[in-house]
Structure 1
Amino acid sequence: MRNALVLICIAAAALSFSSCSKTKKLARQHSELEDTYQTLKRDMSEAEVTLEGEKVKVVLPEAVLFNVNSADMNAEYLPILAKMATILNKYDKTSVLITGYTDVTGTESYNLDLSKKRAESAKSVLVKNQVNSGRIFTWGLGDKNPVADNKTLEGRKQNRRVEYVILYDYKPSKE
């Protein structure tokens, strides 16, 4: 009986230590994300930077990043993205998920392909600015999730965009 009690105490202590270790790791991750958020918010006034749970989202709200039918990034925004790259390089345990979008002027398959190219174009700008490509993941979602009315010229301009989500040490699932 005494041996069983000792084993239970050892197991409880191990679980407590493991839980404590996990809590410290999560706190460290959140702290790094919080620092990343604060730095982006302070240094990138032209961007909308939000901290949403365990991710930082960066959107250039007034940016016309892409012309119609183009995956070439508007050169006007390259210095802003270079600034973002500098910040990302400071926080090298973070990962960046880049999602590309289009307006509705095109077929579904064309828009999906174009949105993927836009995300890859945004990735290439960060890579040219020394962000490790292994930290950057891209997706294209076509004309899904519009941020503005696709019935207007101004709305379609805003929907031709990429969004950046920054996570701590993201590893994609291997499904």
Structure 2
Amino acid sequence: MKKYLFLLLALSTLFAVSATTTSCKAKKKTTTAKQRSDMKAAYESLSKSLPEAKVTYEDDKVKIVLPEALMFEVNSAIVNDSYLPSLAKIAVVLNRYPKTSVLVTGYTDISGSLQMNEKLSWDRAESAKAALLQNEVKNKRVYTWGFGPKNPIATNETFEGRQQNRRVEFVILYNYQDQKAQK
């Protein structure tokens, strides 16, 4: 009798674990489907509303490259007033999808010292972040990084190439959680 009771208990436990695992898997698939749906919708919205930017969607991330030469004066970290509407459009999309976060990265060309360019790239990323915050994007969803002249997208040997390398990029991620903030 004890053997049958034990077997019945073991089978019911196995069934409960199996049902829980199945429901978790189904929930995870739903989250992934929702994530992809939200990110694709964000990409489509940004592509339409930001013709001046290069907007790409890859690996469930949306990347926006704004040409820094248009956004900032040379050697300045102050966002040109004419560019604030573009940042407002990004903020609208971010606010529409509250589970997204954005990494704002600043870059420079090779003109000037490395130290100056690194500081300038950080300051430009922070200025772009400030514009997003003014458009009601929550601070905890916006991260910044300055890369200085690293990762050029064009040659630094020409004026046009240097102009392309002076840029700000936005990488939108879904449900990103800062590992440092969790510790």
Scaled by the length of structure 2, the TM-score of the pair is: 0.86
Q: CA deviation at 1:87?
A: 2.5
Q: Which has the larger Rg?
A: 2
8 Å contact kept, 1:39–1:87? yes
Alignment correspondent of 1:90: 96
Distance in 1 between residues matched to 2:10 and 2:98, nearest whole Å? 46
8 Å contact kept, 1:44–1:80? yes
Of stretches 59-68 and 149-158 in structure 1, the one that deviates more from structure 2 is: 59-68
Structure 2 unaligned blocks of 5 or more: 1-6
Distance in 2 between residues matched to 1:89 and 1:120, nearest whole Å? 19
The alignment's C-alpha RMSD in Å is 1.8
Deviations for 1:100-127, whole angstroms, at most 9, x for unmatched residues?
A: 1111112322221111111001111111
8 Å contact kept, 1:37–1:51? yes
Alpha carbons of 1:116 and 1:46: their partners in 2 closer, same or farther (altered >3 Å)? same
Distance in 1 between residues matched to 2:9 and 2:60, nearest whole Å? 43
Give runs of aligned pairs for residues 43-82 of structure 1, distance below 5 A: 43-61=49-67, 63-82=69-88
Alignment correspondent of 2:159: 153
Distance in 1 between residues matched to 2:8 and 2:93, nearest whole Å? 57
Letter in 2 for 1:67: E
Alpha carbons of 1:126 and 1:35: their partners in 2 closer, same or farther (altered >3 Å)? same
Distance in 2 between residues matched to 1:162 and 1:91, nearest whole Å? 21
Distance in 2 between residues matched to 1:43 and 1:2, nearest whole Å? 61
Aligned length in residues: 175
Give runs of aligned pairs for residues 138-149 of structure 1, distance below 5 A: 138-149=144-155
Scaled by the length of structure 1, the TM-score of the pair is: 0.90
8 Å contact kept, 2:101–2:142? yes
Larger fraction in helix? 2
Q: CA deviation at 1:61?
A: 4.7
Alignment correspondent of 1:136: 142
Alignment correspondent of 1:100: 106
8 Å contact kept, 1:150–1:156? yes
Give runs of aligned pairs for residues 106-125 of structure 1, distance below 5 A: 106-125=112-131
Letter in 1 for 2:40: E
Give runs of aligned pairs for residues 31-46 of structure 1, distance below 5 A: 31-46=37-52
Of stretches 53-62 and 136-145 in structure 1, the one that deviates more from structure 2 is: 53-62
